[in-house]
Amino acid sequence: MHKEFLMGNAAIARGAIAAGLNLVSGYPGTPSTEVLETSAKCSSGSMYVEWSVNEKAAMELAAGAAYCGARTMVTMKQVGLNVASDPLMSLAYIGVKGGMVVLVADDPGPISSQTEQDTRTFAAFSKLPCFDPSSVQEAYDMIGEAFELSEKYHTPVLFRPTTRVCHGYASITVKDEDEYKTNKPEGFVRDPSKWVIFPRLSYNAHINIEARNVTLSEELSSYSRNLIIPEKAEGCRKGIATHGISYTYVTEALRDKSAPRVMKVTTPFPFPEKAALAFLDGLDEVLCIEELDPVIERELTYICGKHGLNVKIRGKLTHDVKNAGENTCGSVAGNIAAFMGWEMPGKTEAEAAPALPVRPPVLCAGCPHRASFFAVKEAMKGRKAVFCGDIGCYTLGNAMPLDMVDTCLCMGAGVNITQGIGHIEPDTVCFAFVGDSTFFASAITGAVNAVYNQADMTLVILDNSTTAMTGHQPHPGTGRTVMGEIVEKIDITAVLHGIGVKTVETVNPLDLGKAVETVKRVASEKGVKAIIFKSPCAVIIKPEKPAVIDPEKCTNCKKCIKSLGCPGIVIKDGHAAIENSLCTGCGLCSQVCPFGAISVKEGK
């Protein structure tokens, strides 16, 4: 054993490898991404690692390996679980042979997600065991225990870190390589009565699952990480139930105080009922401090009713704790003070911070998506049009002055939403914007639907040759894998032609005149047509020389700023100026300036 300073996601990956991991698959999504990336970095070659095309594919791949007796892990963020839920719900009935952990990183806040959904609730819905770590060290240790439980009960297990655990850093104790477990899969053994799902099998599996979860509730009541910390205040009849990162906030808030009894719920499903009864014994009131859903609060309320306990359970449902957003040390301290009748914690007067510029989320300087949106906007001037967006960097196209994203729901949805709008408003020119990675992940079926059902729409694929928003991961169109292997690129144009899209044109969005002309011409056609705006992400290429503004020609009309909103163009002394530290020399502004005052010289 030795000490290392690790990010939570890296600790989870290292813990899984130490537990004998054979295969890991997933799809990038903050805050989960670094788990798979660390696995790839630390792989000795005996473990298979892949970025799958989406979470559903990752789940099914890992299930197949687990059928062989391999220890497998699937990684995703909470909204990715929606994509993977179809195979997972059936897999809960079928079961696995090797240990299988489904890591789903929740994002209270949300900080970088569409929703605040709680995987603990999904655990109860799917009837799958769930582990909820509270620290980096616990995440490292617990992932191995999750594999053990998965193999013991032949079931997938959910592992639910949240953003502050995933991205937190700590000095933790980890195993030396000679302490790692080695898992040798037996291989797939044919048994249709086990691996082929039919209604009769599902009926019997359901009965077994319900019985298993009763047993698990008993077993997990004695699990060492489901802690009950005795009260320090003699005669105190109040308690606090909490979980995950909130447990560390509770611990912080109670330091040096006459603390009430505290229960840390590490396995929210199956809920450790016997442990909860021991916690509730002798209490009059309990405050549940948790993030997202009132999972603990509902369980304790149910247990009190079931066993006739006269204990008042407080929390989100009673409005004693906020029902949305993430907790903080300050918010938890305030909740506890109000519950205990203590003096409310005072606000610490921090040293005044220096004034900072306003920095709203914006597309990077030189981002080709800005050029793509502007080209479509220019081409559609004077026409009734709708612009359906998707999940990725290009969602930022909704910001002024571009204002080019009218809808955004979930990955791949824009392609179908634009069809729905078009069927109701046939006089509207309908566009769907989707990135190259998202196209492979979840937009191909929408394009097939459009062709099959004779929609009238323009599919705009923003191909920047990477998965930029989550950290530049490879995808099927990049020609390389997460392990660095060079593979055949999947050609988006060929895919579109293959599903019946007859008009597919590729253009560089930074050639503004040609891009605008292409949009006008293609969008005027009937049926499903596609434009691929192809230009690499500005972050992954070496920039050109910065643009130059000729003060003799500049009239200070500020069209370059008002039209593009590029952070590489700023106001200095009341005039437009190039911020040389940001400008990539893409040349878009030089094509927008009506007076030819901006120029770009070639060269690095």
Query: What residue spans define the domains of the chain?
Result: 2-221, 227-340, 368-540, 548-599
- Evaluate if residue 355 carries a pLDDT over 90: no
Q: How far apart are CA 53 and CA 156, in angstroms?
A: 21
Q: pLDDT tier at 604 (50, 70, 90 boundaries)?
A: low
CB within 8 Å of 355: residues ≥ 6 apart: none
Q: Lowest-confidence range among 62-66, 147-151, 424-428, 483-487?
A: 483-487
CB within 8 Å of 580: residues ≥ 6 apart: 546
Q: Three-state SS string across 303-326, please?
A: HHHHHCCCCEEECCCCCCCCCCCC
The answer to whether 172 touches 140, Cβ cutoff 8 Å, is yes
Tokens representing 190 are: 């044919």
Please say whether the dihedral angle defined by the alpha carbons of residues 236, 240, 245 and 249, taken in this order, is positive or negative: negative
* Beta strands at 503-507 and 528-534: parallel, antiparallel or unpaired: parallel
Report the mean per-residue pLDDT for the chain.
Answer: 95
- Evaluate if residue 61 carries a pLDDT over 80: yes
The answer to whether 391 touches 110, Cβ cutoff 8 Å, is no
In terms of Cα–Cα distance, which of 510, 508, 513, 507 is closest to 378?
Answer: 513
Second-level CATH architecture of 368-540: 3-Layer(aba) Sandwich (3.40)
CATH fold of 2-221: Rossmann fold (3.40.50)
Q: How far apart are CA 553 and CA 597, in angstroms?
A: 5
Q: How far apart are CA 1 and CA 3, in angstroms?
A: 7
- Evaluate if residue 346 carries a pLDDT over 90: no
Q: How far apart are CA 12 and CA 552, in angstroms?
A: 59
- 211-266 pLDDT, tens digit each: 999 999 999 999 999 999 999 888 899 999 999 999 999 999 999 898 999 999 99
Q: Phi and psi dihedrals of 552, rounded to 5?
A: -70, -30
Instruction: Please report, for residues 248, 286, 328, 349, 520, the alpha-carbon distance to residue 255 in angstroms, rounded to integers and kept in the order given.
Output: 11, 19, 15, 21, 66
Residue whose tokens read 């004998």:
20
The answer to whether 2-221 and 227-340 have equal CATH topology is yes
Strand order across the beta sheet in which 157-159 lies: 48-51, 23-26, 72-77, 100-105, 157-159, 130-131
- 364-394 pLDDT, tens digit each: 999 999 999 999 999 999 999 999 999 999 9
- Evaluate if residue 106 carries a pLDDT over 90: yes
- 81-101 pLDDT, tens digit each: 999 999 999 999 999 999 999
3-state secondary structure of 271: coil
3-state secondary structure of 162: strand
Tokens representing 438 are: 């998202």
Q: pLDDT tier at 603 (50, 70, 90 boundaries)?
A: low
pLDDT for 440: 93
Second-level CATH architecture of 227-340: 3-Layer(aba) Sandwich (3.40)
In terms of Cα–Cα distance, which of 233, 86, 212, 201 is closest to 154?
Answer: 212
Strand order across the beta sheet in which 285-289 lies: 227-229, 261-264, 238-242, 285-289, 312-314
Of all residues in the chain, the percent with pLDDT exceeding 90 is 89
Q: What is the mean pLDDT of residues 527-536?
A: 97
Q: pLDDT tier at 358 (50, 70, 90 boundaries)?
A: confident
Of all residues in the chain, the percent with pLDDT exceeding 70 is 99
Was domain 548-599 assigned CATH 3.40.50.620?
A: no
pLDDT for 353: 82
- Evaluate if residue 600 carries a pLDDT over 80: yes
* Beta strands at 261-264 and 238-242: parallel, antiparallel or unpaired: parallel
pLDDT for 509: 97
Q: What is the DSSP code (8-state) at residue 281?
A: T
pLDDT for 348: 65
Amino acid in position 565: G
- 265-321 pLDDT, tens digit each: 999 999 999 999 999 999 999 999 999 999 999 999 999 999 999 999 999 999 999
Q: pLDDT tier at 601 (50, 70, 90 boundaries)?
A: confident
- 141-159 pLDDT, tens digit each: 999 999 999 999 999 999 9
Instruction: State the greatest distance between any 2 C-alpha atoms of the chain, in Å, as a whole number.
Output: 85
CB within 8 Å of 8: residues ≥ 6 apart: 136, 139, 161, 165, 166, 167, 168, 169, 170
* Beta strands at 2-7 and 23-26: parallel, antiparallel or unpaired: unpaired
